[in-house]
Amino acid sequence: MQIMSELEKATPHTLNSSEMMDLAKNLWPINRSITGPGFNESLSILEKYIKIKFNRLKFKSGEKVFDWEIPKVWNIRNAYIEDSTGKKFCEFRANNLHVMGYSIPVDKTLTLNELQKNLHSLPDQVDAVPYVTSYYEENWGFCISQKERESLVDGNYHVRIESELTQGELVVGELLFPGQTKQEIFISTYLCHPSMANNELSGPVVTAELVKFISSLEKRTYSYRVVFIPETIGSIAYLSRNLPQLQKHVVAGFNVTCVGDDRTYSYLPSRNGSTLSDRVAKHVLRQIYPNYKSYSWLDRGSDERQYCAPGVDLPVASIMRSKYGEYPEYHTSLDKLGSVVTEKGLEGGFQALTKAILILESNKTYCTCTLGEPRLGKLNLYPQTSIKGGYPARTKLISNVITYSDGKRDCLEIAELLNINALEVAAISEELVTLGVLYILGD
């Protein structure tokens, strides 16, 4: 009897981590925000990678989405500060983090004191340029390292931001993969941050690779819905158009974020805490990294806030590497490809999520075909000669899978009872179906 399940055997996808890293490098320089050309350009790069076109769902500026309103579109061409000697710094072209997201146009000369009110830095991380935004209140600002800020001398400074806020559209990139049933696995990732690596490029990059993996699954039990969105406003907008369908069909889902460094693994539950997504996430992490960090719903901070909000309550959990807000480089210019996000880190994130999907695909509920124990001896699954200590571990394992296959426990529950991998339980169960020992409930 083989341990590898039919599903694993049938999966032709081969991971190439360096391709994920190349994709991340291509996306890196683009100035993304929750709207604007950077978001659209990033979608196009992703399309080339996955070789599938997105459904581009569009929401007009001013459109009401639940309690929110779609903002204007932000365009920025250039920005800098010039000191009295003519030296430019905080140049947008050098690092797009230097300009506060959604800064309105400005072109004036200020004293250092006046300028200070619109500068942002981190006193505790003197070399880091922080990532700052002001989506919903019109304002402008520059982000600068604490060290550079402290070096500024009294005098006049010319600030210039060449930007505009215009009526336009917020875009969501959506992909739908039909499966044998209309029940869905929902994958969401966000694509609205400028040049930062773990949060966020690791999310869309690993999700792009997951898309390749999903489309390579020959016999998908589940349908898949994958969305690339601007965080918060994007999930709210998407929910506002699709909530009834999502509530009807989604059986499990993951918010894919912070899956690119190689320092740890983390889990953040759904609000409910015991959905199928939570069970799968915890099982996978226990198998691949038993010391994973388990966060509470009180530590939430990404789109699960919307997907699990009261009355929405989709089964969305998060499998992460180092969680947003919990690693020092988070939301600063220090969150870089190479130093923070590595091929190994991306690969680990991808593998954990793939395992979760494979387990979901194979997580059936089985029942014995006979009453009493099946006679395993005639199937060569039990030793014909009975002697003390003569039972191989595999015989015991098969017998344990059978004894819990009572039509009530799914593979995941049995795997937890036996403290083994759910894919192993699934593989044994599949083989026992072909041997006529078990049948699949509902088939």
Q: State the minimum distance, in angstroms, from the CB of residue 305 to a second copy.
A: 5
Strands 68-69 and 119-120: unpaired
- List CB contacts of 295: < 8 A, sequence separation 6 or more: 266, 267, 268, 269, 323
Task: Please name the helix (run of DSSP H) or strand (run of DSSP E) that holds residue 156, with its range, or none.
Answer: strand 156-166
Our CB check for a second copy shows the closer of 12 and 389 to be 389
Q: Which amino acid is at 148?
A: E
Name the minimum Å distance from CB 204 to a second copy.
20
- What is the spatial order of strands in the sheet that 266-268 belongs to? 55-60, 169-177, 223-229, 184-190, 250-255, 316-320, 266-268, 293-294
Q: How far is the CB of 1 from a second copy (least distance, A)?
A: 18
Residue 334: CB minimum distance to a second copy, A: 11
What is the contact surface with a second copy in residues (CB under 8 A)? 66-68, 100, 120, 122, 130-137, 139, 141, 232, 235-236, 239-240, 243, 271, 297-298, 300, 305-306, 309-313, 325, 330-332, 367-375, 377-378, 384-389, 400, 403-407, 417-418
Longest dimension (CA), the chain: 94
Nearer to a second copy, 139 or 339 (CB): 139
Tell me if 163 sits within 8 A of 74, measured CB to CB: yes
The number of beta carbons lying within 10 Å of the beta carbon of residue 443 is: 7
Residue among 178 and 377 whose Cβ is closer to a second copy: 377
Give the other-Cβ count within 10 Å of 249's Cβ.
Answer: 17
- 3-class DSSP state of 214: helix
CA dist., res. 97 & res. 94, Å (int):
9
- Of 257, 77, 228, 38, which Cα lies nearest the Cα of 164? 77
Q: Which is nearer to a second copy, 85 or 386 (CB)?
A: 386
> Which is closer to a second copy, CB of 272 or CB of 351?
272
Cβ proximity of 231 and 302 under 8 Å = yes
Shortest Cβ 134–a second copy spacing (Å) = 5
Backbone phi and psi for residue 4, each to the nearest 5 degrees, phi listed first? -70, 130
Minimum distance between the CB of residue 110 and a second copy, rounded to whole angstroms? 18
Question: Which of 137, 218 has the CB closer to a second copy?
Answer: 137
Count CB neighbours of 384 within 10 A: 7
Strands 184-190 and 223-229 come out as parallel
Give the pair of three-digit tokens for residue 377. Answer: 């001896």
Map tokens 């983390």 to a residue: 266
Question: Which C-beta is closer to a second copy: that of 62 or that of 407?
Answer: 407
- Residue with smaller CB distance to a second copy, 291 or 384: 384
Rounded least distance, CB 87 to a second copy, Å: 26
Q: E strand or H helix at 228, and its extent?
A: strand 223-229
Q: Shortest gap between Cβ of 386 and a second copy (angstroms)? A: 5
Name which of 48 and 60 has its Cβ closer to a second copy: 60
- DSSP 8-state code for residue 96: G
Per-residue burial over 272-304, b = 16 or more CB atoms within 10 Å of its CB, e = otherwise? eeebbbbbbbbbbbbbebeebbebeeeebbbbb
* Residue type present at position 228: F
Structure tokens at 385: 């000669």
Q: Which is nearer to a second copy, 26 or 400 (CB)?
A: 400
Least CB distance from residue 362 to a second copy, whole Å?
20
* Shortest Å distance, C-beta 378 to a second copy: 7
* Min separation Cβ 377 and a second copy, Å: 5
Tell me the two tokens of residue 431.
């083989």
Contact between 423 and 362 (Cβ < 8 Å): yes
Give 23 or 144: the residue with its C-beta nearer to a second copy.
Answer: 144
